[in-house]
Amino acid sequence: MDEHVPLGLGKRGYALVIATAAALGGLLFGYDTSVISGAILFVRQQFQLTSVETEVAVSIVLAGAAIGAGFAGSFGDRYGRRPVLIVNAVLFGVFAVLTGMANSLPLFLAARFVIGVAVGVASMLTPLYIAELAPPRIRGALVTLNQLAIVTGIVVAYYVDYLFAGSANWRAMFISAVIPSMILLVALIFLPESPRWLVIRQKTDEAFRILDRVESTEDAQRHLKELEAVTEVDKLRFRDLFGGRFRRPLMIGVGLAIFQQITGVNAIIYYTPTILQMAGFRSARTAILATVLVGGVNLAVTVVALFLLDRVGRRPLLLFGIGGMLVSLAFLGYLFGAAHVLRAAILTDVLAYLACFAIGLGPVFWLLISEIYPTTIRGQAMSVASVTIWIFDLLVSVTFLSLIGAVGAKFSFWIYAAACGAAFAFSYCLIPETKGRTLEEIEASWAGRSMPSSN
């Protein structure tokens, strides 16, 4: 046992502990974006909201997320990943309480906006931090722990919504997020800084000590040399992303961000109770209970993806998942256009759609954008993709009810299905396989350089 590894933990075990603790940021991401799904049924009554005001109340967190993701990269590159995540944990806790205490719509929207900023920071920095610490052979699984945490947060939010639905206590639905916020804050105090950020800051000895805790000394030495070499060659600035060899990874990140949203996943997640009420689930509590089942399936399939990403690879799971989403959405549109709406069939189809998302486009997007960008500007590069996903998340969620009203449920879901077709073609043509490669090997590959394999 290495003397630097905490007592009782192997090196991979220590890496797992770090990733699990950091992934609590993902849990808050999932919880705070999804708790509105059940709460909005009561917030709408509390503040007498119109359809447009309801869309704004649901979507304001996404506007904040776009802002948070926009500055998180530059702050993370300047001050370090860990300090920014610590401040973010404080924001999560304070504004969870303020959201629940809001006694007017403007105060509610303001608090939800700041929660959105925290969500945007977590969505970008958490997978980046885990990827920069994870050994290459298990990086897919460890980064996907963040996606698992996001989905867990969604399930917990649905269940909390259900628990408080009987009393219509929407305030408790929001305030309960303060508990994981405090746990995350305490955990981050004891976590190390990213070794790759430390190398950029020429703190090589400290970076080696951290790498030596999560992988063999031989691998740590080799990967540190690769990292020093690639950061020496690639002294990049933000504008370098938009030309030359990094144009393709930029296109991949931005393209997948757009497709992850315009294929409809968050329209379905945020409005699941609403969709199920449209399908014939009459009471709010029954619709929210069915939503808990939806979240449970999403969680179970994400666990499956966690074990497959480092075995099957990113690209096959991505293509399989998008293909399944296309079929599910096409059938969902057909069901809503049928003469008699079948509640069980619609619920089953929603479950199938989310299962396909959870094994492909859901985890693969966040994993890929943590892998494909150059070390010296990885934070800023990930911000571009993260801002894109939140902007399109906002556009889709703020227009969902209006789209349903304009063309009906059948054609709305068919529009999302058509977007899946475009996403499949994009992914088939542009997405590379990154399984088992170090971040430095992936970076070098864009220039046609090679490094010794870490396998």
In order, the DSSP letters of 350-368 are HHHHHHHHHHTHHHHHHHH
Q: Burial level of 167, CB count in 10 A (0-12/13-18/19+)?
A: exposed
Q: Which position has the token pair 């309480």?
A: 97
Q: Is the pLDDT of residue 4 over 60?
A: no
Q: How confident is the model at residue 7 (pLDDT cuts 50, 70, 90)?
A: very low
Report the C-alpha gap between 453 and 374 in whole angstroms: 18
| Tally of CB atoms within 10 A around 193 | 19
In this predicted structure, what is the pLDDT of residue 252? 93
Q: Is the pLDDT of residue 236 over 80?
A: no
In this predicted structure, what is the pLDDT of residue 277? 75
Q: What distances in angstroms separate CA 123 from CA 103, 367, 446, 455, one per listed residue?
A: 29, 11, 25, 30
pLDDT digits (tens, 9 = 90+) for 123-140: 889 999 999 998 888 888
In this predicted structure, what is the pLDDT of residue 233? 59
Q: Is the pLDDT of residue 452 over 60?
A: no
Assigned fold of 11-445: Growth Hormone; Chain: A; (1.20.1250)
Q: Is the pLDDT of residue 451 over 70?
A: no
Average pLDDT over all residues of the chain:
86
Closest CA to 361 of 262, 251, 246, 435: 262
Q: Is the pLDDT of residue 295 over 80?
A: no
Q: C-alpha angle with apex 171: 167 to 177, nearest 5 degrees?
A: 115
Report the C-alpha gap between 157 and 413 in whole angstroms: 25
pLDDT digits (tens, 9 = 90+) for 309-357: 999 999 999 999 999 999 999 999 998 887 676 778 888 898 999 999 9
Report the C-alpha gap between 61 and 177 in whole angstroms: 15
Helical packing angle, 81-101 and 178-189, nearest 10°:
160
- Least trusted range by pLDDT, from 232-236, 253-257, 289-293: 232-236
Q: Is the pLDDT of residue 32 over 70?
A: yes
Q: Is the pLDDT of residue 234 over 60?
A: no
Q: How confident is the model at residue 402 (pLDDT cuts 50, 70, 90)?
A: confident
Q: How confident is the model at residue 453 (pLDDT cuts 50, 70, 90)?
A: very low
For the chain, how far is it from start to end, CA to CA, in angstroms? 22
Closest CA to 420 of 335, 340, 351, 318: 318
Q: What distances in angstroms separate CA 357 from CA 142, 297, 353, 371, one per listed residue?
A: 19, 11, 6, 20
pLDDT digits (tens, 9 = 90+) for 33-62: 888 878 888 998 899 888 788 878 888 998
In this predicted structure, what is the pLDDT of residue 174? 94
pLDDT digits (tens, 9 = 90+) for 56-109: 888 899 889 999 999 898 899 889 999 999 999 999 999 999 999 999 999 999
Q: How confident is the model at residue 427 (pLDDT cuts 50, 70, 90)?
A: very high
In this predicted structure, what is the pLDDT of residue 2? 45
Q: What are the tokens at 442?
A: 């992936």
Q: How confident is the model at residue 23 (pLDDT cuts 50, 70, 90)?
A: very high
- Residue 279 three-state SS: coil
Q: Which position has the token pair 């969870």?
A: 96
In this predicted structure, what is the pLDDT of residue 1? 37
Closest CA to 309 of 363, 385, 249: 363
What is the identity of the amino acid at 74?
Answer: S
Closest CA to 129 of 70, 188, 61, 182: 188
In this predicted structure, what is the pLDDT of residue 173? 93
Q: How confident is the model at residue 9 (pLDDT cuts 50, 70, 90)?
A: low
pLDDT digits (tens, 9 = 90+) for 158-213: 889 888 888 889 999 999 999 999 999 999 999 999 998 898 888 999 999 999 98
Q: Which position has the token pair 């990140």?
A: 253
pLDDT digits (tens, 9 = 90+) for 370-382: 888 887 778 888 8
Contact 43, 166 (CB under 8 A): no
Per the model's pLDDT, the better-predicted residue between 10 and 66 turns out to be 66
Q: Which position has the token pair 């976590």?
A: 191
